[in-house]
Structures are given as structure tokens and as C-alpha cells.
Chains A and B, each alone.
Chain A
Amino acid sequence: MKTNIVKKMTAIAAALTMVVSLGACGSEPASTTGGSAGTESTASSGTASREEAEQSEKTKEVLAEAPVQTEPLVVYLNDFDAVIVDLFKEATGYDVEVVAGNGAETMSRIAAEKGNPQWDVVWIDSAYDIYALSDEGELLTGWEPENAANLTDFAKHIVPDNKCMYPTGTHAAGVLVYRNDIYSEEEAPKTFAELTDKKYAGQVGMADPGVAAPAYPLAAYFMDELGMDGGKEYFNTLFEQGLKVYPKNPQVVKALAAGEITVAMLQESNAYDMVAAGEPISIVWPENGAPGSTRVAAISAGSDQQEIAKIFVNFLLDADTQQALINTGDEGYFEPSVKGVALKPERDADAKLAVADIITGSENEAEIKAWFADMSAQ
């Protein structure tokens, strides 16, 4: 009993800390926080005491409303598992347990758990799959986090009308990558359309959209941009010219490093890792934009911890949180979804991303993947 009271008090204190910290850094861009603090320091003492009284009232409200955690929040994710637990705990005091896996395995788990979901939040770079879950009534819809007000214009377009998920960042599912010991800058492809040039026959590789989570947004982008028929024709040409499809991006990396292929459509974090490892690789960001894969967070409709889940999703949309994720290292190559976050310095400042329409990508997913699988089997 005593332990429960202690736990409850800790949770309330933690919730208070979290709300105060989110209030301080979440609703305003990081760059404007300092200005706001400066204004406060010049305020009159009368104003200060009034503010203190208001703050005290707010604190009482928060204490009354702060959700009490009875068990850890279960988050299914495919990246950032090493840091997010501590970041969230530090900011809010709430416990999180993660199940980390690749995107496809995580979605498979979610599908198998359908009758009795064991997750509270899913946070992976499979926006189309997550959106499809809302069609089946598996997601909390119609809720808008406070920090959604700070979303970039690009990110706002990704939020569906039913507000079932929120983007926390987008990375390139496929930048153009070529071996610079084989091609000069002039000889290298600069657009995706150039990959159909016969001089690259048998030299191009990519990950399997059916297996690698980031590869589907890549295929979906072409099907959306060129239309289904146009997209199929584009890939048909590539297949006819010996496009090599590898299960996942690490295998594309190995094939590139081994010289089995010399050009690839590769996930950006892998591309930058190759450059960092000293491989003779150059990265091209096409002017029209590289197909992006969006990491989204969504809450299970069946979660019995929806209030804490909301705090978690709101936390992911905080500029400081996204900055911390970008600073983590290998997984930090992405374009943040909120304003006021600095990109990784080595990432191309002019990098432009483009994503397929969420509904189109979601509705055609099964067809595109089946078509791709059969084509690559030929």
C-alpha cells in the first residue's frame, strides 16, 4: 500500500515536471524560448506574483489531472530504442517498455495481435501501414496533440484528416548513390529517370518494398508520381535492364561495397554511413526530391493508458526531443517534423523530400508489393 502511494506521488510529481517542461519548450520553437525567458526577467514584481499565483493554480489542476501510471507504456518501434526510454523518463517520469524490431516484423506483430493488442503506441517509419490500421478501427482518431501546432508545412500535409497519426520526421527512403571510383560526377545519374539509361544496365540495386519498411515508400512514390501504370512501366524498364532487388538496405550496402552494383536507391542513413566508413560513394539528392519515408506515432484504440500515450506522442513532437534524436548518431538522419530543430551538419542542407499521398499509398500497398515481388522473381 505504502509503495502504491509512493508510486502515485512520484507519478504526479513526474507528470507535473513533464507538463511544465513541455510548456516551457514544447509549444514554442526552441529558438524563441530564450526570448520568452528574457521578457519574464524584466516583468514587474506585481506581475510576477500574479503569475506565480496562476502557476500555483495550474499546478493544482495538473496534480488533479495527471494520469497515474499503473504499468509501463508499451511502445513498438524500429529505431531510437536505445535512447527514447531514458529521454521520456527524464522528461516526464513515466516508464516506457519498448519492443524494437524492423518495420515489417513490427507490423506483422501488430496484425497478429489484432484481437488483443499488447501495444499502447506504435512509432515506426511505415506511415502507409499505420494509416491502414485506422481503417480497421485500431487507432485512436480525432485527437490533436498540443505540439502539433508546431508542425512544419511539409509534416502538416502528412497528418490525415482522421488525425490517427502524427509524423515525427521524414528521411529519404531512397537517395541516388553511386560509386565514385566508377563514375565521374558528370557520368553519374542525377535523376531517378536517368536510371533507365542503358549505360546503367545491370548496375542498379534497391531494397525489396515487400520486406524492407523504407523501400515501400520509395516504390509508392513512383506509383503516385507517375500513376500506377507509369510507375510499373518505370520499374519494368529497370527490371528489363537487370535491376537487382535485395531483401533489405544493409544488403544493398554490401552489394555496393562489393562492387556487385554501382548505383543504388538507398536509404539516406545507410548512404551517409557508407560515406562515413570511407566507401567510395557519392550521394545525389535529386532536384525534384527524394522519396521520403515518414516515421509516425499513433496510439492504440485499445490502449488502457491513452492519457500517458498522448503525453508520449506529444513529447515526440517536441522540438527538443527531435533535436535530441537527431543528435543521437546513425539514426538521426531525418528531416524533423516540427520547427526549430537543427539538421545533422553533414546532411545536405538543400535536401528535398517528396512523399506519396498517404491514402493512395495505403490503398495500393498490397497490389504494389505483390507486383514488385513477382517482377523481381523473374
Chain B
Amino acid sequence: MKSRDNVSGICILGILIVLVLLPLAAVLFQVVCPGMEPEKFDLKNLSLLLDVFVRKLWKKAFLNSLFLSLGTTAAGLVLAAFLAHIRVKYRFPGAKMLDMVSWILMIVPSFILAQGWVYFASGNGIASAWLGLKGISHFVFSYWGLVTVMVLCKFPMAYITIKTSMEWYPARLMHAARMNGASALKAWWSVQLPLCIPAYCSAAMLIFMDTVGDYGMSSTITAVYSFPTLPYTIYSAICTSPARFDMAGVLSLYLMVLIVIAMVIQYLAMGKRKYDFLDNGTEQVVPQKAAPWKCALLSGFTGVFCLIALGIPVGSNLIMSFSDSISIERFAFTLDNYKAVFGVASNLMDGVKHSLSLAGIAAAIGIVIGFGVAFVLTYSEFRLKKVIDMITLVAMAVPGVVLGIGYIFVWNQKWLMSVGLHLYGKPSILVLASVAAAIPLINRVLVGGMAKIPKTLLTAAQMQGAGYLTRMRTILLPLIHDSSVSAVLAAFGGSVFNLAITTILYPPNFSTLPVYISDAYNDLKFGYAAAATIVGGIFIITIMLVLEYLLNLKKQNRVNRIK
């Protein structure tokens, strides 16, 4: 058993090393060997590591990233836990809207959300010019304003993680606690809440990683308002001339240090206790219908919340998509942007096609590898599984542009041509990079699902003679069906809009949707960029809904048969 664990663990570790660690190591190696030229190898260059405390920009970026991520994690966790709690516990009109909004926010890239917030809150944006809310600009572009915007963009992954963990109720344990005299609150505090610690830790890590490594928000809002962060500074080190890959390596290293610290805190919080509780004493939580006043309150709150979290950024983009002006103040209605998007001369549809095919392949490969990663992390006794965990988190936090540059270093070597593995300059490198970027998210979602399923269930089946594939097909996959669907959809949606990687790696004549949107924005075609975003977004969400329906079809048929 242990040797089998080791084999699967080594395989997964090998895949992650190729997909994540190798490209990252290539960038980090630049610190001591600039340009990967052996004659330039010099260990003295390690002194660059201390420059973070000397260079004003680096120091500020490091501290800004740290405080922004901490603030967002704390506030985001509270918000996500509250939303998950009301969603799981109560049945009220609009409850499903929370899920829908979370999914949309999860797949829409942060640079588009950030752009929407800028259209809304800038000096003469929608809030000021149309709604007369003059103070909004001042608030949004302050530290707490940035935290608020970040929380509204980053809470969904934490919300879904916590909600998934709360959907199962340890009924037998709770009954035991109550029979031993514990009050409802005491039972919740001492039994149910501790069992959710992995989910809360995971949720906190997700928000922290996503915030600390977010480039879209950084470049669109924070850098513009004199609040440089690590991802933006890393980007500007790479995308400057002469390119400072060594600086990017050092800053990425600090980003990794932050991740390791966060992981250590997580492990300390969880200790060596076991948290799997799904057995025959567990019940699926069914939301209860709340009292009318409570129902109205919850519906009202959900509606307002969704309007702010999604309505503002997407609505602002929607408004801009009908404008032919640069600023909202001079808004003039036009359909020209949409005509241009659908026009015969438009290349946008090529971009959509490329992005969709990339995302489809990346999601398919990503779910297979992600399943393997989650399985090893949850059930294997592989010694290096914490390393695997760390690599997936690093892949999530390190900006895509760093990974992209690393991919060039790794996959553009001359000797690879002779063995047919020179992937740089071909669409396949985008697939590899998209898989690498998708794995952390897939893994997190699947680990959340697997954490509830005790290993003993699989062991019992094995003792009854069930082979590996039978155990997967009849036990694990049905129990993590919802998580798997979520993971596939998240990977698909995220890959479609992956700007950083596609910008740095896209092969000649293979432009993608986010590249078109970004180019249009850089050419001051704000209305066209917004229209392309809306059209692309609707396209992708429609495909995701169809995908979700198809993936859930089998499950629904099974439920119908049981009924």
C-alpha cells in the first residue's frame, strides 16, 4: 500500500515539478545566473535578496501586498462564512443567486472586475457623475476601499469551500453532544465548528493566495493609485527593458516566503487531528424555510450584496460597452462597439475560439491531474505530500507572467528541437501553462470534497475485493461529483480569461480573447473592450451552464431513478 502511495506520489510530484517548479526555478535561477549564461554565474548576486529592505519600491510593494492580503483574508473569511451559513441553513428567494454570483465572480478575471470598479468609482465615474455619490472615489481608492473591492472579488472561492463543507452535518456527533448536556451553541462550537477547521483554513489560504498574487487588480487599481504591490512590481521587473528577471526571481521568492508562512500557520491551526466525519452518522443539510420576516431580510440582503459585488463591476462594463466616449461624464449611447465586435472584419471571434479550445483542453487535462493531486494529498501516506501542497499553492500565488517567462526558459531550449519537444511558439505551450494555472484551483475544490470522505470507506471496499478503478467509480467519484463539476467549471472559466500567461506565451497568429480585450483597452477603445468583455463573458457563461447541465445530467437521472 505504501509503495503504491509512493509511486502515485512521485508521479504527481514529477508532473508538478515539470509544470510549475521547473519554470519557476528557471526564473529564480536568474538571481545567480542572469540570462542563464554560465559565464555570468555569481553567488554574490544573492545580495539582491536583501535589496527588498533597501529599494523603496520593493519594500513598499512587499508591505502593501502583505497588509492588503491580510486585511482581505480576514474580512473575506468572515463574509464568506456568513454567506455560506445563511445559504446552507435557510431557504429564501434569491438564495441560488449567491451561488450564481459567486461563480461568475470566480471566472471573470480580476482585471475586468477592477476595470468595472474604476469606471464606477473614478473621479467622474458612474458613482460621481450619475449617482451624485462624490465620496465613493475617495473611499474606494484608500486602503480600506481596496480591501473592500478585493473582498468583493475574492470571497467566492472561500464561500464555495466553506459552503461545501457545511452541506454535511455530523448528526450523530451532535446528538451525542446534546445528550451529554451541551447547549445548541456549545455543541456547534465544540463539535461542528472544529470539524470545519480544514475548510476555514483552506478558505483563508485561498483568499490570501489569490490576493497576494493578483495582478489584474494590482495593475488596474492599486498601482494606479500609488499602492504598488508585489505582483505589479514583479510584472514591471519582467516587462521592462533591460528585463530584470533576477529581480522578478527575488520578488517571487518573497511571495513564496509569504505562502510558506501562511502554510505553516495553517498546519499549526489544524495540528495532527483528523477531520473526516462522513459516515453513516452524517446527514446532508437541507435548508429550512425561514420565518417571513427573516426570509425578506435575507432576500433583501442577498439582493443588495449581489448588486454591489457583481452589479457594480459588470454593470459598469455594460454601460461602457454602449458608450463611444472615454469618460462616463460624456456618455453617448451607441451600438457601434457591438457592431465592431460582431463585424466581419473582427478577429475577436478567432480569439474566442482559441480561448475556448485552450480552456476546454486545459480543464480536461487539469481535472485528471488535479484529481491525482487531491487524492495523494487526502489519502496517500506519501512523505512529500506537503511539498505537493506547497507547489500547488505557489502556482496559485505566483503571477502568471513569472510562470510564462519560466516556460520560455524551459521550453525554448535548442536541444528540445531534436527530440520534438520544442513547445514554445506552439499552442501546446499555452495548454501546458493553462493546466499549471488551473491545477491549484481544481485541487483546492477537490480536496475540500475529499476531506469529508474517510479513507476507511475506500479501505472497506478494497477489503471486499474492489479494485482501484471500481473504488473510484462506485465510491469516490459519486461522493465528490459536485466538487468535480465545480472544479471543471472553475478551471474552464479561469483558463478562458487567463491574460497573463496568454500575453507572454501566445504563438504567432494565435491571439486569445483576453489579449484582444487588453489590446483594445491599450488602444483607448474602452467601449469596444467592454463590449468584447460582455460578449465573451456571455458566451463563456452560456457554455458553462450547458456544461454544468450535461455533467449533472447523469446524477439527476440517478436521483430520478431512486425516487
Identify the A interface with B (CB < 8 A): 72, 74, 82, 97-105, 107-109, 111-116, 118, 126, 128-129, 132, 208, 210-211, 216, 244, 246-248, 250-251, 253-255, 257-260, 270, 273-274, 277-279, 330-331, 365-366, 369-370, 373-374, 376-378
A257 touches B236 (CB 8 A): no
Residue on A nearest B243 in the bound complex, by CB: A111
B223 touches A247 (CB 8 A): yes
Residues of B within 8 A of A104 (CB): 239-241
A251 touches B424 (CB 8 A): no
A257 to B128, CA, bound (A): 13
Residues of A within 8 A of B511 (CB): 100
A259 to B330, CA, bound (A): 13
Identify the B interface with A (CB < 8 A): 35-36, 55-57, 60-61, 118, 122-125, 219, 223-224, 226, 228, 232, 235-236, 238-245, 324-327, 329-330, 347, 405, 408-409, 412-414, 424-425, 503-504, 506-509, 511, 519, 521-524
Residues of A within 8 A of B405 (CB): 108, 112
B243 touches A108 (CB 8 A): yes
Residue on A nearest B508 in the bound complex, by CB: A97
CB < 8 Å neighbour of B224 from A99, A100, A247, A374: A247
Residues of B within 8 A of A82 (CB): 347
A111 to B414, CA, bound (A): 15
Residue on B nearest A210 in the bound complex, by CB: B240
Residues A365 and B242 in contact in the complex (CB < 8 Å), given A97-B509, A260-B123: yes
A267 to B524, CA, bound (A): 12
Residues A108 and B239 in contact in the complex (CB < 8 Å), given A74-B508, A115-B412, A254-B326: yes
Task: Kindly count the residue-residue contacts between A and B in the assembled complex, taking CB atoms under 8 Å apart.
Answer: 147
Residue on B nearest A126 in the bound complex, by CB: B241
Residues of A within 8 A of B327 (CB): 254, 257-258, 279
A270 to B522, CA, bound (A): 10
Residues of A within 8 A of B326 (CB): 253-254, 257, 273-274, 277, 279
Q: Shortest Cβ distance from B322 into chain A, in angstroms? A: 15
B56 touches A108 (CB 8 A): no
A278 to B414, CA, bound (A): 52
B408 touches A109 (CB 8 A): yes
CB < 8 Å neighbour of B57 from A74, A97, A274, A373: A373
B414 touches A115 (CB 8 A): yes
22 A-B contact pairs sorted by A residue (CB < 8 Å)? A98-B508, A98-B509, A101-B503, A104-B240, A105-B503, A112-B245, A112-B412, A113-B424, A115-B413, A115-B414, A129-B241, A208-B236, A210-B240, A211-B240, A247-B232, A254-B118, A254-B122, A278-B330, A279-B325, A279-B327, A279-B330, A376-B226
Q: Shortest Cβ distance from A345 into chain B, in angstroms? A: 20
A107 touches B241 (CB 8 A): yes
A118 touches B425 (CB 8 A): yes
Residue on B nearest A213 in the bound complex, by CB: B241
B241 touches A365 (CB 8 A): yes
Residues of A within 8 A of B245 (CB): 111-112
Q: Shortest Cβ distance from B522 into chain A, in angstroms? A: 6
A370 to B235, CA, bound (A): 14
Residues of A within 8 A of B329 (CB): 257
Residue on A nearest B55 in the bound complex, by CB: A374
CB < 8 Å neighbour of A112 from B224, B408, B524: B408
A211 touches B123 (CB 8 A): no
Residue on B nearest A252 in the bound complex, by CB: B224
A99 touches B508 (CB 8 A): yes
A270 touches B524 (CB 8 A): yes
A211 to B234, CA, bound (A): 11
**Residue picked from A97, A98, A109, A274, most chain B C-beta under 10 Å:** A109
Q: Shortest Cβ distance from B152 into chain A, in angstroms? A: 21
B506 touches A118 (CB 8 A): no
Residues of B within 8 A of A251 (CB): 224
**Residue picked from B223, B508, B519, B523, most chain A C-beta under 10 Å:** B508
Q: Shortest Cβ distance from B210 into chain A, in angstroms? A: 21
A247 touches B519 (CB 8 A): no
Residues of B within 8 A of A100 (CB): 511, 519
CB < 8 Å neighbour of A250 from B240, B509, B524: B524
**Residue picked from B60, B236, B507, B521, most chain A C-beta under 10 Å:** B236
B524 touches A253 (CB 8 A): yes
Residue on A nearest B347 in the bound complex, by CB: A82
Known: A104-B240, A246-B223. 12 other contacts (CB 8 A): A82-B347, A104-B241, A108-B239, A111-B243, A112-B243, A129-B241, A210-B236, A257-B326, A258-B125, A260-B123, A373-B236, A376-B226
A105 touches B241 (CB 8 A): no
Q: Shortest Cβ distance from B550 into chain A, in angstroms? A: 36
Residues of B within 8 A of A330 (CB): 523-524
Residues of A within 8 A of B236 (CB): 208, 210-211, 247, 373
Residue on A nearest B524 in the bound complex, by CB: A273
A258 touches B123 (CB 8 A): yes
A99 to B508, CA, bound (A): 5
Residue on B nearest A85 in the bound complex, by CB: B509
